[in-house]
C-alpha cells in the first residue's frame, strides 16, 4: 500500500505530464507546495520504488506501474467530485479540496458502488475525464479556447479546477462544461477575448483562455 504522500506525488506527476508534456522537479515542487529539495528527495524515493524515471532533460516520467498507481488516485478523486456534487449537492468550487481528503481512503468496493450509482460518469464536474475501472482514460479535448478565431462556435468541455475563486468566476461568466458560446473578437497584443455566451458578451483574458479546453462546433 502506497502512502498518501506517495500517491499525491504520483497524481501530480501524472497531471503535469498530461498538461505540459513533462513533469520537471521545479514544477512538481510548485504543484506540491514544497521546496525543490523536498521534491527531489521524493522523486529519488519514487525512482527507488520503480514508480518513476528521472533524467536531467526529460524530467520525471511515470513507469507503467507508476502510471497505474496515479490513474487509480485520479479515478478516486474525480468520481468523488461527481458524487459530492450530484448526490450531496456541493458546489463545484468546493468539491476538489474535499475529494483530496477522501481519495486515499476510498476502498475499491465503495469506488465500484459509487461508479454504479452515478451511472458510470465519463467526466467530473470540471470536465476532466474519469479513468475507467480498467484505468483507461480518454484523451482531453484538443482545442484551447485561446486558439479560436472570431466567428467560431464551440462548447466548453474542460476548465481548470483546484481554485475555488476561479471556478466561482467562471460560473459567473456562464463558462461551465457543456456551455455553447461563440468567439466574437480577439484583441491584439494578448488582449482579452470577447465571447457571446447565451446572448451575453463576456471578456476572457488570454491566459485563462489557454486553460479552458473546448470542442469546436462551427
Choose among 94, 105, 160, 86: nearest CA to 127. 160
Say what the pLDDT of residue 218 is. 79
All cell numbers assigned to 65: 506501474
What CATH number is given for 64-139 in this structure?
Answer: 1.10.10.10
What CATH number is given for 4-62 in this structure?
Answer: 1.10.10.10
pTM of the model: 0.90
In percent, the amount of the chain with pLDDT more than 70 equals 100
Residue 19 has pLDDT above 90, yes or no: no
Residue 56 has pLDDT above 80, yes or no: no
Residues of the chain with CATH 2.30.30.90: 143-216
To the nearest whole number, what is the mean pLDDT of the chain?
94
Residues of the chain with CATH 1.10.10.10: 4-62, 64-139
Q: Are the C-beta atoms of residues 160 and 128 closer than 8 Å to each other?
A: no
Quick one: pLDDT band at residue 140, thresholds 50, 70, 90?
confident
Query: Which residue intervals of the chain are DSSP H helices?
Result: 4-20, 25-32, 36-48, 64-86, 95-102, 108-118, 164-173, 206-209
Choose among 209, 210, 214, 15: nearest CA to 100. 15
Average confidence (pLDDT) over 119-143 = 94
Residue 70 has pLDDT above 80, yes or no: yes
Quick one: pLDDT band at residue 190, thresholds 50, 70, 90?
confident
Phi first, then psi: what are they for 83, rounded to 5°?
-60, -45
Hey, which residues does 153 pair with through a beta bridge?
182
CATH superfamily placement of domain 143-216: Ferrous iron transport protein A (FeoA) (2.30.30.90)
Amino acid at each position: 500500500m502506497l502512502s498518501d504522500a506517495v500517491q499525491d506525488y504520483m497524481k501530480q506527476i501524472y497531471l503535469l505530464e498530461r498538461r505540459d508534456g513533462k513533469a520537471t522537479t521545479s514544477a512538481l515542487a510548485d504543484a506540491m507546495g514544497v521546496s525543490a529539495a523536498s521534491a527531489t528527495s521524493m522523486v529519488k524515493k519514487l525512482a527507488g520504488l520503480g514508480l518513476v524515471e528521472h533524467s536531467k532533460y526529460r524530467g520525471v516520467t511515470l513507469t507503467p506501474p507508476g502510471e497505474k498507481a496515479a490513474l487509480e488516485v485520479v479515478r478516486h478523486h474525480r468520481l468523488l467530485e461527481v458524487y459530492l456534487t450530484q448526490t450531496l449537492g456541493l458546489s463545484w468550487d468546493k468539491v476538489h479540496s474535499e475529494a483530496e481528503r477522501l481519495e486515499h481512503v476510498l476502498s475499491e468496493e465503495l469506488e465500484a458502488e459509487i461508479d454504479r450509482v452515478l451511472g458510470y460518469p465519463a467526466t467530473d464536474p470540471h470536465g476532466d475525464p474519469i479513468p475507467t475501472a480498467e484505468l483507461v482514460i480518454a484523451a482531453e479535448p484538443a482545442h484551447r479556447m485561446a486558439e479560436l478565431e472570431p466567428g467560431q462556435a464551440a462548447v466548453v468541455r474542460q476548465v481548470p479546477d483546484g481554485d475555488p475563486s476561479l471556478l466561482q468566476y467562471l460560473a459567473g461568466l456562464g463558462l461551465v462544461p457543456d456551455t455553447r458560446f461563440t468567439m466574437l473578437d480577439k484583441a491584439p497584443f494578448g488582449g482579452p477575448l470577447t465571447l457571446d455566451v447565451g446572448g451575453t458578451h463576456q471578456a476572457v483574458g488570454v491566459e485563462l483562455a489557454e486553460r479552458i479546453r473546448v470542442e469546436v462546433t462551427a
